[in-house]
Amino acid sequence: MQLSIRMKTIAPMKSPARFIDVKALASAYAQPLAQLDNFLEQQIAAFEPEVRPYIAETFKHKGKRLRPLLVLLAAGWAPAASQKAPEDVIRACAIVELVHLATLVHDDILDEAEIRHGAQTLNTQLGAHQAVLTGDALFAHALCLAADYPGTEVCRAVAAATRQVCSGEIAQTFARGDAAVSIVNYRRFIDLKTAELFAVSAWLGAWIASKNNTLANAAAQFARHLGIAYQVYDDMLDLRSQEQKAGKTLGTDWATGKFTLPFILLWQVMPTSESQALQQRCVAGNISLEEMEQFFQHFQIDAAVMQWFEAELTAAQHSLEPHADTAAGSLLPELVTFIRSAMQRLLPGYHG
């Protein structure tokens, strides 16, 4: 059966190919990321003695640091810069990292995940009660740091983004077990729970560095599309990677009734009666992921997902076209190459 999805095909724009993997990205930004580590270490003392070991544990396991990197790139901090990144930029990096870490702690509780960044989750170590309160403490400290900036812009932006991220997770939780979730609602969920924090990260970097609201909004729009593309990648990672490579518990979307883009696109192209029957089997847990993979292959779902993914990356790059002559406009597109390369490693048949 031929794939019948209708999407506008946009040729991806060219972007520099410097940051191909996590190691290259971390190496290029080793100095400001070390500053961030030092800053976070200093924050542990702000918490009560009973909480400090768990806060330290969350800081110990570092991910890709994409949100702090969005702050740095949007602020125009180039890898070749010899001086340290400004303290107000590093503070913003810490704020978005704290919010992100808090969401991970809460996500692991909701998903009953046992592994995160190659180690036991706080939920596994402490139980849900202590873990959820640790996540709350991280959220609160991020807002404390945001309140240290002059004016109300930074604190308001961080508070609003935190509200949206939590709302997105709640909305998606309510939709668990609903195999018929629409693609419109799926995009709304990931725009809230993932893209919102990407967007505020870029906004903070550009705003703090330039106080140019037009540039900051363009950077945020870029990062919002990038965040949606990244969540699509993460959804595919949950289905295709191996836990040892990914460093976290996989298959949690599938196991907890969270139906992501590959499933939604599959329902769209299958005959209605077959789609409904398959959805019922999925909700009942009466089908293996290996069998689902056969459906994905037969209906060419990878190609449909990649079309969605590329459309978001291209929209991200177009958002910055009016600001191509700025430092943020030249640096941020590096992350498009990085995320596209990550998807290519996950799906070797995909060439962008």
What is the 8-class DSSP label of residue 76? T
pLDDT at position 247 is: 46
Contact 248, 271 (CB under 8 A): no
pLDDT at position 6 is: 32
pLDDT at position 4 is: 33
- How far is it, in rounded angstroms, from Cα 27 to Cα 69? 12
Q: Distance of CA 120 to CAs 54, 56, 114, 127, Å?
A: 12, 14, 6, 11
Contact 87, 71 (CB under 8 A): no
pLDDT less than 50: residues of the chain:
1-17, 243-244, 246-248, 250
Taken in order 44, 170, 123, 240, is the CA torsion positive or negative?
negative
Local structure of 12: helix, strand or coil = coil
- How far is it, in rounded angstroms, from Cα 254 to Cα 237? 12
CATH superfamily of 22-346: Farnesyl Diphosphate Synthase (1.10.600.10)
pLDDT at position 120 is: 75
Quick one: tokens of 158? 């961080």
pLDDT at position 254 is: 64
pLDDT at position 116 is: 66
Question: b/e for 196-209, b at 16 or more Cβ within 10 A?
Answer: bbbbbbbbbbbbbb
What is the 8-class DSSP label of residue 74? H
- How far is it, in rounded angstroms, from Cα 240 to Cα 115? 17
Quick one: tokens of 179? 């195999």
In the chain, % of residues over pLDDT 90: 62
Domain ranges of the chain: 22-346
- Provide the terminal-to-terminal Cα distance of the chain, rounded to the nearest Å: 24
Taken in order 125, 129, 189, 208, is the CA torsion positive or negative?
negative
Local structure of 8: helix, strand or coil = coil
Name, in order, each residue with C-beta under 8 angstroms of 265's C-beta and a sequence gap of 6 or more. Answer: 5, 183, 301, 304, 305, 308
Name, in order, each residue with C-beta under 8 angstroms of 318's C-beta and a sequence gap of 6 or more. Answer: 13
Residue 348 CB-density burial (10 A; 0-12 exposed, 13-18 middle, 19+ buried): exposed
